[in-house]
Amino acid sequence: MLARTNRLDEAEVLLKQAAAAEPDLARPYEGLGLVAMRRNKYDESLEYFKQAATHGSKNHLAHYYYAEAMQRRAIGSPPPAVAQQIAEELRISIKLMPGFAHAHYALGTLAAMTGENLKEGMDEVKTALKLEPQSKWFVLTLAQLQVRMQDYAAAKKTLEPLLTADADPSLKNSAESTMRMIEYMTRPARVEPARVDGTSADSAGANADTPAEKAPMRVIGRPTLKRDGTQTIRGVLVSIECKAGKWTLVVNTRDDLLRFAVSDKDKLEFFSQDPDFEGSVKCGPVNKIAFVYFKPMAGQPKVAGDAVAVEFTR
């Protein structure tokens, strides 16, 4: 009760006393996890919810928050083993409380992020929408799953209500980015990776938390930068994953979902051909069409190359 009324210090004392008195009980760990979540201490909450799950918690929120804490720690798309564990905890949460829409939605979001179990993810988001039909973010995730499954016509139809003038600006922006991704993925022309040689004397670098430079308007749709020893590929820069000081670019091409390592994040450059591009490039979802300039990496089967620059286009 104290935790739920935000008297966190008092709650923590009593919950720790309960855990010490009855170490095999799940409920004290559930409460301690909730206190840690309220304080935005997600690593701490993960450990408490893990303890709750280990001790047989029957609280659907404990399993849901355990999954959420694991997802937050992963920052971006989690590794396969972690993704499987997150999915298992969400399924337990759903089994304990079938009417909890957010657990269904989280399982669908996980599928959209990892590209695994897409059919299950779509079914779960549809269930979430039946439970909470007013949630527009659920609708957006459904469209993203339809894109993943290459059902572009259905995705466009799903996105239409999110593109109205009175839509939430953040939601509308995400819907527009997804629509641009669909338009790119359904273009008849195919762009193959091309080699780019030479150097550029007039290019200024930018960190990933600073605005992209406005490159001179040359030929839209073609790479305009030159970097020694690099190749380029065009696709949708889905996200920038930032974890433990390491960055990874996730790029959706016409044929595959590729991951590019960033060996030196301080030297990664961002540019834009699009005069309408505004804002900063940050860790997390991006969903912008771009050329990625990269150097091949030998002996790294899980990455397509070492990214050195990104050039947004239209």
3-state secondary structure 203-217: CCCCCCCCECEECCC
Does the domain at residues 8-183 carry the CATH identifier 3.40.30.10? no
Q: Low-confidence residues of the chain, pLDDT below 50?
A: 189-210, 213-220
What does the pLDDT read at residue 99?
96
For residue range 100-130, list pLDDT tens digits in order.
999 999 999 998 888 889 999 999 999 999 9
pLDDT, one tens digit per residue, over 148-197 is 888 999 999 999 999 987 878 888 888 887 887 787 777 664 434 333 33
Question: CA-CA distance, 41 to 72, in Å (whole number)?
Answer: 11
pLDDT value at residue 229: 80
Select from 2.60.40, 2.40.50, 1.10.3470, 2.40.10 the CATH code of 194-312.
Answer: 2.40.50
Domain residue spans of the chain: 8-183, 194-312
pTM, to two decimals: 0.64
Residue 180's φ and ψ, nearest 5 degrees, are -65, -35
Terminal-to-terminal C-alpha distance of the chain: 53
Question: For residue 166, what pLDDT is reported?
Answer: 80
Residue 280 forms beta bridges with which residues? 211
Q: Contact at 8 Å (CB) between 187 and 193?
A: no
Report CA-CA distances (Å) from 297 to 29, 209, 231, 244, 269. Answer: 45, 25, 12, 21, 19
Alpha-carbon distance of 227 to 229, in angstroms, equals 6
Q: Look-up: residue for tokens 């993925």?
A: 185
Residue 47 pLDDT: 93
Which residues on adjacent β-strands are paired with residue 310?
270, 292
Phi then psi for 48, rounded to 5 degrees? Answer: -70, -45
The set of residues, in sequence order, having a beta carbon less than 8 Å from that of 211 and lying 6+ positions away, is 279, 280, 281
Distances (CA, A) of 130 to 97, 158, 195: 15, 15, 49
Asked if residue 125 lies in contact with residue 145, where contact means CB atoms within 8 angstroms, the answer is yes
Of the candidates 293, 276, 261, 294, the one whose C-alpha atom is nearest the C-alpha of residue 212 is: 276
State the pLDDT at residue 90: 96
